[in-house]
Structure 1
């Protein structure tokens, strides 16, 4: 049973005793036997005959009995979730003596009752991570392994949305991919695995796609929101630390298997393509950059589509672990397999890269209405193992390996209606496009780690790390054809005429890799200064990164141009016809192909001490030096062929933690941090997109930020908690994407650029409470950010009698930041019958999804809600049934642009779909993914 507040108050009242002025002292330290963290608030009892004394363990893990009479004392330590320590005998020979016990380690108290584990100190439990949050030196939120298992989510990306202040950016199948922490976009966050930074397989950016990680591989998920000097400084929003499963104290065997279905494919079939014939390498890679390709060099297999009716989703997982040789050698191996069929039906309205001035200045123009159907098969395999060996109580070593491999096969069907041309007539020009895309992503990490207690007060640890992240898109293929579709009097399509013709076929090869070699070293020294123990620590890291990128595309046209009627892709005569702008020569000789290097050298010093008996201070400074270079394949006379960037950052931080009571803290933190641009952003690349060509910016600066956190924490016991906090961030040189004009409306590009500054502040609340078998877990975050950027305007000058383009500024929120974010879960836990149920609700307020070059025309996402359900029921001592159901209410993701009502009325008159008369927004996109479910069985030994 958790210790009640009344008992804790009585214990606090019993700390002080009226004793003689001259008396002895007994002191020591208490820590967790596994984590070696201080067990703050543990009760220390000293007994001398009939006299009994009590005190509590302080924030630094220490305890002190003062003013004790001479005699023999029996010392015991008690704390909920831990076994009571064995009795230590201490003898005070005189009233001036000081006896030091040293460090006492408490072990988990794990008991079995009716085949249900009651695990107060179990490292997999919610109560255990509550203790970690309470005792941590910094502001953080943690999801336990048990909580992750019971969530309706199967990937880390989706699990992250349950954490306070975290929202997710979803892909076009409705699945979470990137995390936005406290309104800071994914570029401002970093990802660690077991405390080690990993590279990203993304072709442009540093941030890691979080959907690559199956959630069942984790021991816990930490979101760290305030950095200490010992942590890498490139995180402004927060750091996500994926702590993988470690070797248990006893034999462990867990297995799970499940199947499921997405109801989207009850309404339409899943469209698949044959990827077997897709060329793994481009013609230029096979035959050299001087080779001029022909149509015979390209396969058409990927353009042959087949329908799958009700494809089955499947998952499987296995974990085996144990300790050998008298518990010295620990081994754990875990694997996860996931195969999901997902997709969406999306109706998207494409704004013009230009604007109009009628009926108001800088009015929205629409060019196309797209009906798209995505069919995406994701095949994911993840493996990890950890081997650790304990030589003795002073030396241990471990080797960790992690590997994830993901194949994503996506078919995209697009029906593109040209809007504004003959839109009210009985004939419309329609482009139909098919795209086949296969992407392979891999991440591998190997970490050799050692910990050595060199002396009583000196500890040294080190890590050697090798990591590689890769992505490959072999022969992404598209083809499209045009048709004039006739409509009947009721607006229904009645067929295509003979002017249907093939337009183009495209093939693109892209691959990249990011390879890291890194070394970490830290040394900790705990001297006594003026009678006060001080934890001094210093260390650093060196990382050498090599990144390369390859990009090459080809465009084919029908040999006979628009005179050849389109029937099927197999009957279309394709050629590189110069008169039809076909591109048969290699495009690999561009700045898109480059090799880059990065050297990061970092060092830090920090000190942790008790400024007052209940006030802990951790402060220090970190220095990071960054050296980058890149070289493209462009000729020497190209001005952006290569480049170098060097800078050094000094990053101070200080963290104050005041122990109000044994279960209450107040924290105040300040830290400075940075965010480095992605390699793809500083390389002068150029990649065409649907609306704009995206280009790199070699002059892009890194972002610096000042961060302040204040939080009150209450941990009543067990899994219960109440957290109330605020944060403030000021960014220098924030990075935003701008649309720039490089020579007229037809030459608009999108580019990452710096702005002067941005601010971001907000409030967080977290509440978890269990009453009997029922519980509620809820969090809410309010965030407000501001950034001012230049915008282009268009107006009609009556004096000059012509259209004019001007520039102004607009203050808006940061891209991706939602004012209101919340989660609420209703939980039911009945250990007697072995049943856990959860209904989880998440809410994300409206936010900017795409920044426009034009004033007032940013694209926003409407508030998004999702309701999910999960259940786990024991069938026997070791077997369980579980199910996860997502999107119970069939929520749709919607995008919009705020406009003058007269603009919308004009669009409605022209037949623009999904609009509501009298509204002040144009609905730009509606994406529906429908409900999906998963059900299966677990075996736990």
Structure 2
């Protein structure tokens, strides 16, 4: 569409008072879209033939100040809008400021009987507020414009700006998973354009949100109350990523940026060569009867680490789209590439598998202390395209395609430089370790969708979906060696590296999995008029066939050396296979870690929406979901439990939503819905895998979770971008799943296992405020969440009876919050937007209160994460027409992540009184178990929009 000159005329004729002008007042008002009510931000308002001009602010207002008395012709320019009616404006010293509001109508050529989606699609804050206000259920939105101007480059990091949402971070501090209303990531699901996508994770169903570049979406919906036509496996909430649609006119945008992380100012980026890594294990290539050889099948070049000083981060993105054939055919293509070098330094204490009983029960004790340095290079590639064709006013069809690819190259170096704990010896044995991990994740989706108006009152829509997610970890490799450290008065005198025989020195693991969905959706809508009121009936359902595969193959080698052989390098060591039954290198891909699973999900629903009275809307109905899952491992059928299994259950999920229209801009909502959470496929299987700290094992006896959910919310939308939301929620969970640290027969062996616990409750309140004052604005939200669950814990203590003193382990009940739930969560952003100057600035602070990170088997020894707050800054400045410079700065305050145990450390042995364990907070009554440092990162670039 070409530029249109919008003029509002008035007669010019009244002479100025005297020879000089009198400063009588000003002209102010609002400029909005006639159809949507959205402010036309950036429209220019000019007094013709004068020097007076301004632009429309973020809230739709404009203000021409210090205007001389007289009659003026106002000129409003905004691309793509018709000329409005003329209005006469007179300024004199008697009546001061004049207020004039303008509503402009789009000048886009209309297609006869064809509707093309327009501005109200949530791409900016104004249309996002409109969607929230008109929604049938409780939701919060982030618009594409909001995300673009935020400090975030992935959807995972953007999620932390939403009310009630916190993020689970990776080893380098980047957001990865979302926790909604204190509900762990397992209790949330992820949709793309309303369609569920599979997860590339090897054990769980939840999708890593960092795989999505933030610039690829039109809006991000966080749906907190489910209606019957939505999939019912979300207790915390549903994340719906609405992707870009074909625009009404030609669209082209491109951006590129560069930056770096300051963590590498103090530590080098440690990389490893990955071009020659074998993506398949020796057994996959040659068959299970093949005897692997060393070094032939296990090259050690992957351990040839190299330092890179201040590596440069970079991003590149592009979007192009238009409509053709008289606007009937819409096409849009979007691509994004990101290459980031990130790192962290992690200081950790390792708790003993069993506490001590002195001086009190369950006294905290540690077996080791070490430092880990992470260096991670992440490549992200996102591609999406959509074609839609409007046959006529009754029939449209679209084809959407999405491909996401992420490579993550991580080096973990554990120098173990703290020389042990409570050691009075002059010599200490350490085991430095290097680990190289290449993780490949892919998500692909193709959705064919159709909408058909079968009659005046009947509409049908359908979707055929094919999706596939996969994760590959080829040749994950790590090796360790021994070092004898000699100290004198606490100072290191010498370090002698040696190799000890009969200990594992090198491990190689191949792991990959796929999750494939074939699904069909069908919805039928009927809108009759009953008792002089419009009623909407909906019915439909879905069928999904899911296939999940997982492959795991591991080899362990040890050194064929004499005792205390000096260690000069992994390339120079003679190695042989460690396990006696695997002495010739036969594959170990026989066990519960290799499996195939199938899941058939069928669902149907009915729902109705109608107005009970003029101001009260009711939406209610019921959904039924049937789940039938089976899995088969490579364990022999004679295995006691878990070699194979089936799980089948049916859930009836009613829901009802009341929406009371207090006024045009005020709503009161009350909702009830029942929902579920299915365990991950790997969690059912009795797998046994090494984790970051503890070995993880599965649980074939796991049950799925059911929950009753209540929501109450008051909404006020006083301005076009302003809002005030306040509400509360209540959730009661049956068979919630928590991860417990458990022992396996021996107190020296610790495992993590998913287990069902007793029923749990989660109650909370949310408040959201957004207010703009011309060019300045503030957006803030706060969520209070309180959950309670009671579980059985162990108490290791000393008992004195008439028969003497003994040490026993008893079972006790302990109440605590749900894992991952923080009592206090808040965000505040200060905004400055000057359309005339082309400047946007955002200072954003996100706060997450303390929460349980790891549940202990022993009472009082859970590991908590301390409150974490991160301050970020972003800005954008127009430098030429269509060209913008932007910058994003993260973690301005160098905030570390700390994990602690709510018990001060007490040295038991009298010989070590006064011993100070490392990296503790001075004067605290708790023990810091881990401290992770990420430091500041910078990103700056150029963006062009046509």
| TM-score normalized with structure 2 length | 0.86
**Aligned to 2:931, which of 910, 926, 929?**
926
Query: What secondary structure is seen at the aligned counterpart in 1 of 2:660?
Result: strand
- The structural deviation recorded for 1:441 is 0.2
The corresponding residue for 2:154 is 155
Alpha-carbon contact 2:437-2:473 (below 8 Å) kept: yes
Instruction: Give 1:804-823 correspondences, 5 Å limit.
Output: 804-823=808-827
**Using a 3 Å threshold, how does the CA distance of structure 1 residues 86 and 929 change in structure 2: closer, same or farther?**
closer
Aligned-partner Cα distance in 2 for 1:563–1:110: 84
2:911 corresponds to 1:910: no
The corresponding residue for 2:941 is 936
2:292 corresponds to 1:293: yes
Aligned-partner Cα distance in 2 for 1:929–1:463: 43
Alpha-carbon contact 1:229-1:653 (below 8 Å) kept: yes
Instruction: Give 1:44-443 correspondences, 5 Å limit.
Output: 109=106, 123-296=122-295, 297-416=297-416, 423-443=423-443
Task: Decide which moves more: 919-928 or 839-848.
Answer: 919-928
**Using a 3 Å threshold, how does the CA distance of structure 1 residues 444 and 183 change in structure 2: closer, same or farther?**
same
Q: Which sections of structure 2, spanning at least 5 residues, go unmatched?
A: 1-32, 39-78, 86-102, 109-117
Aligned-partner Cα distance in 2 for 1:869–1:598: 45
Instruction: Give 1:878-893 correspondences, 5 Å limit.
Output: 878-893=882-897
Aligned-partner Cα distance in 1 for 2:107–2:706: 46
- The structural deviation recorded for 1:569 is 1.0
Alpha-carbon contact 1:725-1:764 (below 8 Å) kept: yes
Aligned-partner Cα distance in 2 for 1:155–1:794: 45
- The structural deviation recorded for 1:685 is 1.3
Query: What secondary structure is seen at the aligned counterpart in 1 of 2:176?
Result: strand
- The structural deviation recorded for 1:689 is 3.7
The corresponding residue for 2:754 is 752
The corresponding residue for 1:101 is none
**Using a 3 Å threshold, how does the CA distance of structure 1 residues 108 and 128 change in structure 2: closer, same or farther?**
farther
Aligned-partner Cα distance in 2 for 1:322–1:905: 75
Query: What secondary structure is seen at the aligned counterpart in 1 of 2:145?
Result: helix
The corresponding residue for 1:455 is 455
**Aligned to 2:800, which of 789, 798, 801?**
798
The corresponding residue for 2:734 is 732
Alpha-carbon contact 1:501-1:565 (below 8 Å) kept: no
Alpha-carbon contact 1:501-1:566 (below 8 Å) kept: no
Task: Decide which moves more: 900-909 or 540-549.
Answer: 900-909
The corresponding residue for 2:534 is 533
**1:729-764 deviations in Å (ceiling 9; x for gaps):** 000010011233442313443221111200001000
**Using a 3 Å threshold, how does the CA distance of structure 1 residues 582 and 273 change in structure 2: closer, same or farther?**
farther
Alpha-carbon contact 1:353-1:692 (below 8 Å) kept: no
The corresponding residue for 2:643 is 641
The corresponding residue for 1:95 is none
**Using a 3 Å threshold, how does the CA distance of structure 1 residues 581 and 928 change in structure 2: closer, same or farther?**
farther
Query: What secondary structure is seen at the aligned counterpart in 2 of 1:148?
Result: helix
**Using a 3 Å threshold, how does the CA distance of structure 1 residues 535 and 121 change in structure 2: closer, same or farther?**
closer
Alpha-carbon contact 1:450-1:461 (below 8 Å) kept: yes
- The structural deviation recorded for 1:874 is 0.7
**Using a 3 Å threshold, how does the CA distance of structure 1 residues 675 and 577 change in structure 2: closer, same or farther?**
closer
Alpha-carbon contact 1:559-1:577 (below 8 Å) kept: no
Alpha-carbon contact 1:519-1:543 (below 8 Å) kept: yes
**1:883-929 deviations in Å (ceiling 9; x for gaps):** 00000010000010011464599888334101245422111111111
**Using a 3 Å threshold, how does the CA distance of structure 1 residues 690 and 463 change in structure 2: closer, same or farther?**
closer
Alpha-carbon contact 2:228-2:655 (below 8 Å) kept: yes
**Using a 3 Å threshold, how does the CA distance of structure 1 residues 554 and 642 change in structure 2: closer, same or farther?**
same
2:638 corresponds to 1:632: no
**Using a 3 Å threshold, how does the CA distance of structure 1 residues 135 and 467 change in structure 2: closer, same or farther?**
same
The size of the alignment, in residue pairs, is 842
- The structural deviation recorded for 1:532 is 1.4
The corresponding residue for 1:469 is 469
Alpha-carbon contact 1:893-1:927 (below 8 Å) kept: yes
**1:481-505 deviations in Å (ceiling 9; x for gaps):** 111112243x332321365658510
**Using a 3 Å threshold, how does the CA distance of structure 1 residues 422 and 664 change in structure 2: closer, same or farther?**
closer
**Using a 3 Å threshold, how does the CA distance of structure 1 residues 299 and 318 change in structure 2: closer, same or farther?**
same
Aligned-partner Cα distance in 2 for 1:85–1:397: 34
Query: What secondary structure is seen at the aligned counterpart in 1 of 2:431?
Result: strand
The corresponding residue for 2:43 is none
Aligned-partner Cα distance in 2 for 1:640–1:594: 11
The corresponding residue for 2:556 is 555
Alpha-carbon contact 2:359-2:908 (below 8 Å) kept: no
Aligned-partner Cα distance in 2 for 1:904–1:335: 59
**Aligned to 1:781, which of 780, 783, 788?**
783
- The structural deviation recorded for 1:174 is 0.5
**Using a 3 Å threshold, how does the CA distance of structure 1 residues 575 and 567 change in structure 2: closer, same or farther?**
same
Aligned-partner Cα distance in 1 for 2:924–2:908: 7
Alpha-carbon contact 1:908-1:917 (below 8 Å) kept: no
- The structural deviation recorded for 1:121 is 5.2
Alpha-carbon contact 2:450-2:463 (below 8 Å) kept: yes
Alpha-carbon contact 1:557-1:580 (below 8 Å) kept: no
The corresponding residue for 1:606 is 607
Aligned-partner Cα distance in 1 for 2:423–2:928: 18
Instruction: Give 1:4-19 correspondences, 5 Å limit.
Output: none
**Using a 3 Å threshold, how does the CA distance of structure 1 residues 336 and 234 change in structure 2: closer, same or farther?**
same
Query: What secondary structure is seen at the aligned counterpart in 2 of 1:875?
Result: strand
Aligned-partner Cα distance in 1 for 2:885–2:326: 35
Q: Which sections of structure 1, spanning at least 5 residues, go unmatched?
A: 1-31, 41-80, 88-105, 112-118
**Using a 3 Å threshold, how does the CA distance of structure 1 residues 795 and 424 change in structure 2: closer, same or farther?**
same
Query: What secondary structure is seen at the aligned counterpart in 2 of 1:264?
Result: helix
Alpha-carbon contact 2:121-2:128 (below 8 Å) kept: no
Aligned-partner Cα distance in 2 for 1:293–1:796: 52
Task: Decide which moves more: 601-610 or 274-283.
Answer: 274-283
**Using a 3 Å threshold, how does the CA distance of structure 1 residues 706 and 561 change in structure 2: closer, same or farther?**
farther
Aligned-partner Cα distance in 1 for 2:825–2:474: 38
Aligned-partner Cα distance in 2 for 1:108–1:241: 31
- The structural deviation recorded for 1:507 is 0.4
- The structural deviation recorded for 1:620 is 0.4
Aligned-partner Cα distance in 2 for 1:273–1:616: 60
- The structural deviation recorded for 1:424 is 3.1
The corresponding residue for 1:654 is 656
**Using a 3 Å threshold, how does the CA distance of structure 1 residues 583 and 394 change in structure 2: closer, same or farther?**
same
**Using a 3 Å threshold, how does the CA distance of structure 1 residues 235 and 913 change in structure 2: closer, same or farther?**
same
Aligned-partner Cα distance in 1 for 2:335–2:218: 14
Alpha-carbon contact 2:705-2:734 (below 8 Å) kept: yes
The corresponding residue for 2:513 is 512
Aligned-partner Cα distance in 2 for 1:541–1:859: 41
| TM-score normalized with structure 1 length | 0.86
**1:162-211 deviations in Å (ceiling 9; x for gaps):** 00000000001000000000000000000000110000000000000000
**Using a 3 Å threshold, how does the CA distance of structure 1 residues 580 and 482 change in structure 2: closer, same or farther?**
farther
Query: What secondary structure is seen at the aligned counterpart in 2 of 1:286?
Result: helix
The corresponding residue for 1:837 is 841
Query: What secondary structure is seen at the aligned counterpart in 2 of 1:599?
Result: strand
The corresponding residue for 1:584 is 585
**Using a 3 Å threshold, how does the CA distance of structure 1 residues 893 and 604 change in structure 2: closer, same or farther?**
same
- The structural deviation recorded for 1:580 is 12
Query: What secondary structure is seen at the aligned counterpart in 2 of 1:158?
Result: helix
The corresponding residue for 2:696 is 694
2:874 corresponds to 1:875: no
Alpha-carbon contact 2:740-2:854 (below 8 Å) kept: no
RMSD between aligned alpha carbons?
A: 2.5
